[in-house]
Amino acid sequence: MRIIRYIFLPFTLLACLAVIAAAQTPPKPGTQVRVAPAPPRVPTPRTDSEMRMAVDPNVNVKFCVSEAELKINGWNRDEVRVFVRDGWKFNMKVLEKDKTSTKPNWLWITPAEPEAGSVPGYRPECLSGRTVEIDLPMNSSLNITGRSTETTIDSVKKVEIKIVEGGISMRNISGGISAFAYQGDLTVENSAGSIAVETTTGNVIAYDVTPGNIGEVFRVRTNSGTVMMQNVEHRQIEANSITGAVNFDGKFLPGGVYSFKTSNGSIRLLLPDDTSAMFEAIYGFGSFNSDYPLEYTMETKMPTGQKVVARLGSGDSNVKLTTNSGTIHIFKKK
């Protein structure tokens, strides 16, 4: 057996050498050789960063946020302060200066250029961090876009904001609001001006809201959620929900035009004793009820439900109520 082992040993060594030689043989022309990619360089490390700039008191500030908790606050200083925690560094770009004060009145907050060692060709388009805090003059206007952020805005003049995902809370906005969220709740408190708020999936809450000028409109819409309004003093209100209730607690002012509509939900009105309104109620699967005695001027059946026209008091305002599936109820405010 030992002799046989020695006889086969040279053949085994020759086979191994042949395999090694084949592995080291250069590939034939036209043969593709796979090369392992080099490991990518890491992005610029996140850090805390802060910047301040003296500005005109009526400054307009624009920026976008990809991901962060966003907190914006108006203060009694002619200065913009931005603080980003655990995020990308940023710059303040002056787009325009006021001719009188010569201070910036249009500002763009944008991520800084990538540092050495970051991923080649990578540059963030929006601010990003754990939190983004911005202090700016109370007479400022804001233009904000964002992807995923919980936003709180307090004590500025005007707000335009569009967020993909996240709630938006706005209070003490004196000169008007335009707010949209694809997914998230919207809250408007103690604000004035022309107001338009919309969310695809979320609730809308508005209270202690007034117009800044005659004829300004309050518009609110949600595809899937509840609309709640309390002490909204605009003479023109349009409130719509596709799937959800519409609730109103307040006064209908003389000459006002109000429209409350939902496809699948109830409409509830909580009104004081001195209410004077002409109601037009259209409902399908549901009912129309009132705690106040109404003077009915028309009741008719329609292919999709019923239509009722009724007067409360002198009928000084016009109120249209529409629901395809749900009840309409006028409650007496105690």
Which of 103, 138, 173 is the last residue in one of the domains? Answer: 138
163: three-class secondary structure by DSSP: strand
| 97 contacts: CB under 8 Å, gap ≥ 6 | 56, 103, 104, 105
The answer to the question of residue 319 being in a domain is: yes
The answer to the question of residue 239 being in a domain is: no
233: three-class secondary structure by DSSP: coil
State the sign of the Cα–Cα–Cα–Cα dihedral 315, 320, 324, 327: negative
The answer to the question of residue 182 being in a domain is: no
Which of 138, 165, 182 is the last residue in one of the domains? Answer: 138
The answer to the question of residue 183 being in a domain is: no
Residue with tokens 């395999």: 19
Torsional class of 225: left (φ above 0), alpha (ψ -120 to 50), beta (otherwise): left
pTM, full prediction? 0.83
Q: Say how many domains are in the chain.
A: 2
Nearest C-alpha neighbor of 164 from the set 178, 182, 152: 182
What's the Cα-to-Cα distance from 103 to each of 48, 57, 136, rounded to whole Å? Answer: 27, 9, 14
Per-residue pLDDT of the chain (334 residues; tens, 9 = 90+): 444 444 334 444 444 444 444 444 455 555 454 544 544 444 556 789 999 999 999 999 999 999 999 999 999 999 999 999 999 899 999 999 999 999 999 999 999 876 544 555 556 789 999 999 999 999 999 999 999 999 999 999 999 999 999 999 999 999 999 999 999 999 999 999 999 999 999 999 999 999 999 999 999 999 999 999 999 999 999 999 999 999 999 999 999 999 999 999 999 999 999 999 999 999 998 899 999 999 999 999 988 889 999 999 999 999 999 999 999 999 999 8
Which residue segment(s) compose the domain that 81 sits in? 57-138
Please give the helix or strand (H or E) that residue 134 lies within, else none.
Answer: strand 127-137
The answer to the question of residue 188 being in a domain is: no
The answer to the question of residue 3 being in a domain is: no
Which of 104, 138, 172 is the last residue in one of the domains? Answer: 138
The answer to the question of residue 176 being in a domain is: no
The answer to the question of residue 36 being in a domain is: no
Paired strand residues for 299? 308
